[in-house]
Structure 1
Amino acid sequence: FIAGVTARTAAQLVGVNKNTAAYYFHRLRLLIFHNSLHLEMFDGEVEVDESYFGGQRKGKRGRGAASKVAVFGLLKRNGKVYTVAVPNTQTATLLPIIREQVKPDSIVYTDCYKSYDVLDVSEFSHFRINHSTHFAERQNHINGIENFWNQAKRHLRKFNGIPKEHFELYLKECEWRFNHSEIKVQFSILKQLVKQNLF
């Protein structure tokens, strides 16, 4: 699991039934999910962005792409990431998440999406990134959260489709892997979670 391989690959490597491996991988994802729902609030410089996850299909792309899952993410610079699947990317959906996860007076970086307009008159210092004019201009960027989206999508592509009802488990797994990037730390955390919850 820690190596980031699929349950099928793990089953072949270890010599167990693929359903057995899938069962234990699912249990590990459940443990990660339930233990990463509430991170400490972010402060300082925070990057905010939304992305869409789902299968490749022709037709509508970008924001609001049909049949894709909308995901909202916040990344504390040089720190952790927090993600949540959302029903839509409207202000009424995103602002409460920002207020719940980011301390007032923090610096919030976003792109120019209209849902972030309200941040101009909020308790945060708001800076917009216009990708066409200054993609990575000194501190004025959201490269960190966009890097996370790329890592998460690369990891999830291995699974050739994820059941929608389990998507958040896989999303939190990606968040957990990003927040605990050292293999030794991942192993230690999982060992502790298994001890506390499965015995």
Structure 2
Amino acid sequence: MVLKSRTERNGGQVFRCTKNRNHVKSLRANSFFEKTKVEIQDIVVFIKSYLDKNSLYQCSKFSGVAYKSTAVNWASYIRELFKEYFSRRTYNKVIRGIVEIDESLFGRRVKYHRGNPNKGLKVWIFGLVDRESNSIILYPVTDRTKETLIPLIQRHVAPGSTIYSDGWSAYLDLNTLGYRHFTILHKYAFKKAYKNVETGDITYVHTNRIEGAWKHAKDHFRRIVGTKSGQFEGHLAEIMWRSECKGDVYQKFFDLVKEVYPLNKPAEYLYTTPLFDSWEGPPEHEASGDENNEEKIMPVESGAETSESEDMNMPQPQASSSVAVAGPAVITVSSSSEDEADKTLNSSILHQPMPNPRKTQLPS
């Protein structure tokens, strides 16, 4: 077979048999660009612009493709690759070392009592952040019970690892499951020191990494002004891919393309729908053709102020008459009741909370 060029603009090049001219194979066969008639260079420009976090409208302008049809379709094709990456790599990823865990609410938020608070879809997201690589794993969950969250932790966190979390009651059994679990109650402080009574080593506990990850995740949805519920999983997969594939994102993206599209055979996608086994998927809507019927998911505030607001399955500590002196980066409120709460939440008897040196008494 010899390589021949077609005269039409969008035809590209084909392999043609020298003995039978009717035997033709496209140069794009089994590739990421097989089913499109758009010029490959235009698609590459679109992909680069998309990876640079430009808006879909800007991507279409830079690449010269149609905004409401071609650009939307290719953005969906790109996210399908991210979903495949989650299915092949992230789903079975095991983290060792220090891990931060938390939950956050994604959905429409009504401010100043304006608008319908029941409109839009609200989804709880469970997240794990690896302190070493600063990568995040996200799961939409139907609820935040330990029956839902503990299996996800056991899937991704190796036994013997250290886990930092807030005081959510679903995490209370982590010490008995082979983990070194430390908690920080955001109601009282954002950083806590624990001292090992045997070695004297001090462990400083905070969940700033996971809180920062929530900001980046929600900034992604703010940048695209929310998304339809049917596309929500693809965007979560994109957030996880970006957190893990830092640096030369262009090279890493096309490495993923080569893995999924080997060229010597058709591409085979392995991911399932719904992508995450921690929920039943977004609500299905009737195929009426009206896109406005589909609910949108918008970001709300970070989970730091929501995770501690619900009642835990234990008595809440009562604050004593003490005033915290705020430092430049950490605001800590310490009291005897806070220390008792931390002793209850951290079942490891080797680590006890240290008193806060910034604690000052109110003048009588």
TM-score, structure 1 normalization: 0.88
Match for residue 230 of structure 2 among 160, 165, 170? 165
Tell me if 1:194 matches 2:226.
no
Q: CA deviation at 1:8?
A: 2.1
Residue of structure 1 in register with 2:98 after alignment: 45
- 1:118 alignment partner AA: D
Question: What is the CA–CA distance in structure 2 between the aligned matches of 1:70 and 1:149, rounded to whole Å?
Answer: 12
- In the TM superposition, 1:2-17 aligns within 5 A as 2-17=51-66
Residue of structure 1 in register with 2:207 after alignment: 142
Question: What is the CA–CA distance in structure 2 between the aligned matches of 1:55 and 1:189, rounded to whole Å?
Answer: 33
Q: Is the 8 A contact 1:8 1:22 kept in 2?
A: no
- 1:26 alignment partner AA: S
Structure holding more helix per residue: 1
SS in 2 for 1:74: strand
- 1:28 alignment partner AA: I
Segments of 4+ moved more than 3 angstroms: 195-199
Q: Is the 8 A contact 1:72 1:85 kept in 2?
A: yes
- 2:219 alignment partner AA: R
Q: Is the 8 A contact 2:95 2:157 kept in 1?
A: yes
If you compute each CA radius of gyration, which structure gives the higher value, 1 or 2? 2
Residue identity over aligned pairs, in percent, reads 30
- 2:104 alignment partner AA: S
Q: CA deviation at 1:153?
A: 0.3
Q: CA deviation at 1:118?
A: 2.1
Question: What is the CA–CA distance in structure 2 between the aligned matches of 1:92 and 1:143, rounded to whole Å?
Answer: 26
Residue of structure 1 in register with 2:109 after alignment: 56
Q: What count of residue pairs does the alignment treat as equivalent?
A: 191
Residue of structure 1 in register with 2:139 after alignment: 84
Identify which range, 47-56 or 88-97, moves more after superposition.
47-56
Question: What is the CA–CA distance in structure 1 between the aligned matches of 2:216 and 2:253, rounded to whole Å?
Answer: 21
Q: Is the 8 A contact 2:98 2:132 kept in 1?
A: no
Match for residue 81 of structure 2 among 18, 31, 38? 31
Q: Is the 8 A contact 1:84 1:168 kept in 2?
A: no
Q: CA deviation at 1:42?
A: 0.5
Relative contact order (C-alpha < 8 Å, sep 6+): which is higher?
1
Structure 2 residue runs of 5 or longer lacking an equivalent are: 1-49, 114-119, 194-203, 264-364
Question: What is the CA–CA distance in structure 1 between the aligned matches of 2:256 and 2:95, rounded to whole Å?
Answer: 24
Q: Is the 8 A contact 2:245 2:252 kept in 1?
A: no
Q: CA deviation at 1:55?
A: 2.1
Residue of structure 1 in register with 2:153 after alignment: 98
Match for residue 125 of structure 1 among 170, 173, 180? 180
Structure 1 residue runs of 5 or longer lacking an equivalent are: 60-65
Match for residue 155 of structure 1 among 220, 223, 227? 220
- 1:32 alignment partner AA: F
SS in 1 for 2:51: coil
RMSD: 1.8
Question: What is the CA–CA distance in structure 2 between the aligned matches of 1:4 and 1:11, rounded to whole Å?
Answer: 13
Residue of structure 2 in register with 1:62 after alignment: none
Question: What is the CA–CA distance in structure 2 between the aligned matches of 1:36 and 1:133, rounded to whole Å?
Answer: 36
Question: What is the CA–CA distance in structure 2 between the aligned matches of 1:22 and 1:35, rounded to whole Å?
Answer: 20
